[in-house]
Amino acid sequence: MDTLNVAQAAQLLHLNPKRVQFLARSGQSPAVRVGRKWLFQRRQLESLLGQSSPAAAPPPQAIDLSARNQLRGRVSGLVLDGLMAEVRVGIGDQELVSVITRAAAERLKLRIGDEVYAVVKSTEVMIGKR
């Protein structure tokens, strides 16, 4: 059985460690408190994510969002500069530009040629990837 501490669980879940502690305290995530430390079973966290192992890829399915305007395209340009990232997405013969945080681009592991979804809601354009 693989036991994780808060930092390891946060990395697996792509969450801030404080958020992981809050979820454990409130009973929203499977955890055991030993002294002053929270411990998590990797298998239980992976089952919450729908994965059988940390390297398992998510199933190929559409992103489930409330936004109706989801445009599928390919990353045609990517500029990482300081805290921000400019993502150019080719959609048909059009190009859409989105500015997102560098951390989000790195978390998504965006690369030129990746298939992504541009999600348009109000005045914001978000980038999603399966």
Inform me whether the pLDDT recorded for 119 exceeds 60.
yes
Pick the CATH number of 69-128 from 3.20.20.190, 2.40.50.100, 3.40.50.970, 1.10.10.10: 2.40.50.100
Where residue 101 falls among pLDDT bands split at 50, 70, 90? very high
Taking the whole predicted model, whether its pTM rises above 0.85 is answered as no
Structural domain boundaries in the chain = 3-49, 69-128
User: Tell me: the pLDDT tens digits for 29-85?
Assistant: 888 888 888 898 888 888 777 754 444 444 445 556 666 678 889 999 999 999 999
Beta-carbon count within 10 A of 121 CB: 13
CA-wise closest residue to 96 among 63, 74, 81: 74
pLDDT of 99 reads 93
d(CA 72, CA 85): 19
pLDDT for the residue 56: 46
Tell me the mean pLDDT in the region 97-124: 88
Q: How far is CA 65 from CA 5, 59, 99, in A?
A: 31, 16, 20
Question: Cα separations (Å) of 85 from 97, 114, 118, 127?
Answer: 10, 15, 15, 11
pLDDT for position 54 = 44
Assign 88 a pLDDT band (cuts: 50, 70, 90): very high
Give CA 93 to chain center in angstroms: 28
Higher pLDDT, 10 or 63: 10
